[in-house]
A and B are shown apart, each in its own frame.
Chain A
Amino acid sequence: MSAEPLVKVSNLNFTYDRRPVLTGINMEIHRGQVVAIMGSSGCGKTTTMRLIGGQLRPTSGSVSIGGQVVHELDNDGLYQLRRRMGMLFQFGALFTDMSVFDNVAFQMREHTDLPESLIHDLVLMKLHAVGLRGVHQLMPSELSGGMARRVALARAIALDPLVMMYDEPFAGLDPISLSVVGQLIRTLNDALGGCSIVVTHDVQESLKIVDYVYFVSAGKIVAEGTPAEIKKSTTPYVHQFVWGEADGPVPFHYPAPPYGASLLQEVVRA
Chain B
Amino acid sequence: MLDKVVRALTSLGRSVTDRIWRLGFASRFFLAVFLYSGTAFRRFHLTIREIYFTGVLSLIIILVSGLFVGMVLGLQGYDTLQRYGSSEALGILVALSLVRELGPVVAALLFASRAGSAITAEIGLMKATEQLSAMEMMAVNPIARVVAPRFWAGVISMPLLAALFSALGVFGGYLIGVQFIGVDEGSFWSQMQASVDFRQDIVNGVIKSFVFGVLVSWIAVFEGYDAEPTAEGVSGATTRTVVTSSLAILAADFVLTAFMFRGI
Show the binding face of A for B, using Cβ within 8 Å: 53, 55, 79-80, 82-83, 85-87, 89-91, 93-96, 106-107, 110-111, 152, 155
Q: Is the Cβ of A91 less than 8 Å from the Cβ of B139?
A: no
Does B133 have its Cβ within 8 Å of any Cβ on chain A?
A: yes
Point out the residues of chain B lying under 8 angstroms from A90, CB to CB: 130
Does B140 have its Cβ within 8 Å of any Cβ on chain A?
A: yes
CB distance from B50 to the nearest CB of A (A): 11
Report whether over half of chain B's contact residues are helix, strand or loop; otherwise say mixed.
helix
Point out the residues of chain B lying under 8 angstroms from A87, CB to CB: 134, 137
Chain B 40-70 near chain A by CB (<8 Å), digits 1 or 0: 0000000000000000000000000000000
Q: Is the Cβ of A91 less than 8 Å from the Cβ of B138?
A: no
Given A86-B137, A90-B130, A96-B129: 20 more A-B contacts, CB < 8 Å: A53-B137, A79-B141, A82-B136, A82-B137, A83-B139, A87-B137, A89-B134, A91-B129, A91-B130, A93-B129, A93-B131, A93-B133, A95-B131, A96-B126, A106-B138, A107-B138, A107-B139, A111-B139, A111-B140, A152-B134
Expressed in whole angstroms, the Cα–Cα distance for A83 and B139 within the complex equals: 6
Q: Is the Cβ of B138 less than 8 Å from the Cβ of A82?
A: yes
Chain B 209-248 near chain A by CB (<8 Å), digits 1 or 0: 0000000000000000000000000000000000000000
Expressed in whole angstroms, the Cα–Cα distance for A242 and B137 within the complex equals: 31
Expressed in whole angstroms, the Cα–Cα distance for A80 and B141 within the complex equals: 12
Number of A-B contacts (CB under 8 A): 48
Expressed in whole angstroms, the Cα–Cα distance for A82 and B139 within the complex equals: 5
Expressed in whole angstroms, the Cα–Cα distance for A131 and B141 within the complex equals: 30
CB distance from A100 to the nearest CB of B (A): 15
Expressed in whole angstroms, the Cα–Cα distance for A140 and B253 within the complex equals: 43
Q: Is the Cβ of B130 less than 8 Å from the Cβ of A89?
A: yes
Point out the residues of chain B lying under 8 angstroms from A79, CB to CB: 139, 141
Expressed in whole angstroms, the Cα–Cα distance for A155 and B138 within the complex equals: 9
Show the binding face of B for A, using Cβ within 8 Å: 126, 129-131, 133-141, 145
Q: Is the Cβ of B130 less than 8 Å from the Cβ of A93?
A: yes
Please give me the residue from chain B that is nearest to A53 by CB atom. B137
Q: List 26 A-B contacts (CB under 8 A).
A: A55-B133, A55-B137, A79-B139, A79-B141, A80-B139, A82-B137, A82-B138, A83-B139, A85-B137, A89-B133, A90-B130, A91-B130, A93-B133, A93-B134, A95-B131, A95-B134, A95-B135, A96-B126, A106-B138, A107-B138, A107-B139, A107-B140, A110-B138, A110-B139, A110-B145, A111-B140
Point out the residues of chain A lying under 8 angstroms from B145, CB to CB: 110
Expressed in whole angstroms, the Cα–Cα distance for A91 and B229 within the complex equals: 14
Expressed in whole angstroms, the Cα–Cα distance for A106 and B139 within the complex equals: 11
Point out the residues of chain A lying under 8 angstroms from B131, CB to CB: 93-96
Expressed in whole angstroms, the Cα–Cα distance for A107 and B141 within the complex equals: 12
Please give me the residue from chain A that is nearest to B138 by CB atom. A107
Point out the residues of chain A lying under 8 angstroms from B137, CB to CB: 53, 55, 82, 85-87
Expressed in whole angstroms, the Cα–Cα distance for A53 and B136 within the complex equals: 10
Q: Is the Cβ of B130 less than 8 Å from the Cβ of A55?
A: no
Expressed in whole angstroms, the Cα–Cα distance for A90 and B131 within the complex equals: 11
Q: Which 10 A-B pairs have the closest CB atoms?
A: A93-B134, A82-B139, A93-B130, A79-B139, A87-B137, A89-B130, A83-B139, A107-B138, A110-B140, A93-B131
Expressed in whole angstroms, the Cα–Cα distance for A93 and B135 within the complex equals: 9
Q: Is the Cβ of B136 less than 8 Å from the Cβ of A55?
A: yes
Point out the residues of chain A lying under 8 angstroms from B134, CB to CB: 87, 89, 93, 95, 152
Point out the residues of chain A lying under 8 angstroms from B126, CB to CB: 95-96
Please give me the residue from chain B that is nearest to A81 by CB atom. B139
Please give me the residue from chain B that is nearest to A87 by CB atom. B137
Point out the residues of chain B lying under 8 angstroms from A55, CB to CB: 133, 136-137
Point out the residues of chain B lying under 8 angstroms from A91, CB to CB: 129-130
CB distance from A10 to the nearest CB of B (A): 22
Expressed in whole angstroms, the Cα–Cα distance for A96 and B133 within the complex equals: 14
Please give me the residue from chain A that is nearest to B146 by CB atom. A95
Please give me the residue from chain B that is nearest to A95 by CB atom. B131
Expressed in whole angstroms, the Cα–Cα distance for A94 and B125 within the complex equals: 12
Expressed in whole angstroms, the Cα–Cα distance for A94 and B132 within the complex equals: 10
Point out the residues of chain B lying under 8 angstroms from A94, CB to CB: 131
Please give me the residue from chain A that is nearest to B141 by CB atom. A79
Point out the residues of chain A lying under 8 angstroms from B135, CB to CB: 95
Point out the residues of chain B lying under 8 angstroms from A53, CB to CB: 137
CB distance from B99 to the nearest CB of A (A): 36
Point out the residues of chain A lying under 8 angstroms from B136, CB to CB: 55, 82
Please give me the residue from chain A that is nearest to B129 by CB atom. A93
CB distance from A94 to the nearest CB of B (A): 8
CB distance from A152 to the nearest CB of B (A): 8
Point out the residues of chain A lying under 8 angstroms from B129, CB to CB: 91, 93, 96
Point out the residues of chain A lying under 8 angstroms from B139, CB to CB: 79-80, 82-83, 107, 110-111
Please give me the residue from chain B that is nearest to A80 by CB atom. B139
Among A87, A93, A107, the most chain B Cβ lie within 10 Å of the Cβ of: A93
